[in-house]
Amino acid sequence: MNFFSYLYLKINSIDKINFILIFLIPISLATGPAIPDIIITTSVILFLVSVYLNKDYFFFYNKFFFIFVLFYLYLLLSSFLSDMILFSLHSSLFYLRFFLFCFGLYYLIRKNENLIIYIIFSLSLIIILLSIDGYFQYFNKYNFLGYEYTGVRLSGVFGEEQKLGSFLSRLLPLLICLLIYTKFFNNKIIIYITIVLSFFIINLILITGERTALFSIFFFLFLCTFLLKFTFIYKFLIFLTFTFSLLLLIMSDINLKTRIITLTINQINSTTDKGGKFDESEIQNEYLFSKNLRIFSIQHESHYISALKMFNSNKIFGIGPRLFRVKCDDEKYYTKYGCSTHPHNFYIQLLSETGIIGFLFLFTLFIIISYYLIKIIFIQKFRLQESNYKIAIMITIYVSIWPFIPNGNFFNNWLNIILYFPFSFILFFLEKENTH
């Protein structure tokens, strides 16, 4: 009897189906938002049925569950207090499914933690396949699905959505965390394979031209280099190797150099993409700090200005989830270039759409993890008692909610599945440590 069969026999029929669905989630994320959303919704239903049949209401005793539910109820309240209730409820009403998905995965891992090995396999498979497809697109100017590469943004299987870099930068850290937990890194061959694959994957993230994704993966590597309890000199040499290789790639590819360096400097300095000054008729004259020194770009800062205007007029409850895209055209919130589907920052979006209370849920999480990582840095005794896998998963979540970079839509289905994935494992890690 192979390991898979043995594992499968240890769970009931409903959980067997749910296990298959969980296994397919990383792979389904490469297809777009619809299929993974259907999968997690089905998974949540099966989880609730299994919990009811087994009378296993373990999550009722978990403080994080009550925090999640409180946040969900607050989102509903914000929607009901908005002046476009039905439109706002489109994002808030079913947001609970992400919390339940998180606890559903946690529930399955509690029953048999060997499921983590299959999640590792699923993550590894999709990351490697997308990386192969991405490199093929880079060198051949089209990928296996026929999507073309124009030399500006490499998108792989995601086509016009251009989120290959985001996908890889968010799931590679989770994969590394799970490899640490399962002690695969006790095997030197696995270590070398992971380093080589990570090298090529991070190079691909650079090639995609997604600057936020590039920052995120480097921030993750930087924190891991200084916080994980492995031999520092090896970690530092690996980090330097990755850094210099990426710098060489940037300098050798004029398109990458233009987008990663030149465009970034021009946008911050309030100049056009080509480096010249905007015509006065094109310039956006509202600014947060300086007309000639913008936050990321004129467009990004314009989104923030519009969002903060909404917050100033609705400080407690906000204008309602999902309503930035509608209200940004209102005269009292309008600023040139300020309209979009969302403000491109989680924290500013929550301020505008859910007010100070909604913002505090996420900001408090950021402060808690910041405090945890600071303790790791400065308190040697605390650092020694913490496991590498727990530190790594905390870093993964920390990077994903880092407030000082552009983000996607906080209420986006596809993004939320990826964001909540690591929480299942931290819940399991915390429970496991508390029982030892």
- Residue 34 domain flag: yes
- Residue 202 domain flag: yes
Question: What is the CA angle 236-238-244, rounded to 5?
Answer: 100
Domain span including residue 396: 3-56+95-265+387-434
Handedness of CA 128, 120, 177, 42 (dihedral sign): positive
H or E, element range at 108: helix 96-111
State residue 265's pLDDT score.
85
Distance CA 34, CA 37 (A): 5
Q: What pTM did the predictor assign?
A: 0.92
Please give the chain's pLDDT, 436 residues, in tens.
454 454 444 556 888 899 999 999 999 999 989 999 999 999 999 999 999 988 888 877 888 999 999 999 999 999 999 999 999 999 999 999 999 999 999 999 998 888 999 999 999 999 999 999 999 999 999 999 999 998 778 999 998 888 999 999 999 999 999 999 998 877 788 888 888 888 899 999 999 989 999 999 999 999 998 898 877 777 777 788 778 878 888 887 888 888 888 888 888 886 655 555 555 566 677 878 777 788 888 889 999 999 999 999 999 999 999 999 999 999 899 998 889 999 999 999 999 999 999 999 999 999 999 999 999 999 988 888 899 999 999 999 999 999 999 999 999 999 999 999 999 999 999 988 776 6
- Residue 294 domain flag: no
In three-state secondary structure terms, 53 is helix
Report the phi/psi class of residue 230: left, alpha or beta, with left for phi > 0 and alpha for psi in -120 to 50.
beta
Distance CA 46, CA 44 (A): 5
- Beta-carbon contacts of 252 under 8 Å, excluding residues fewer than 6 positions away, are none
- Residue 222 domain flag: yes
State residue 383's pLDDT score.
86
State residue 278's pLDDT score.
56
Distance CA 48, CA 70 (A): 19
- Residue 36 domain flag: yes
State residue 2's pLDDT score.
52
- Residue 151 domain flag: yes
Instruction: Domain count for the chain, please give it.
Output: 1
- Residue 89 domain flag: no
Q: Which residue's structure tokens are 């994969």?
A: 175
Distance CA 52, CA 32 (A): 32
Closest CA to 224 of 242, 247, 207: 242
- Residue 233 domain flag: yes
CA distances from 317 to 51, 78, 91, 248, 362 (A): 34, 6, 15, 48, 15
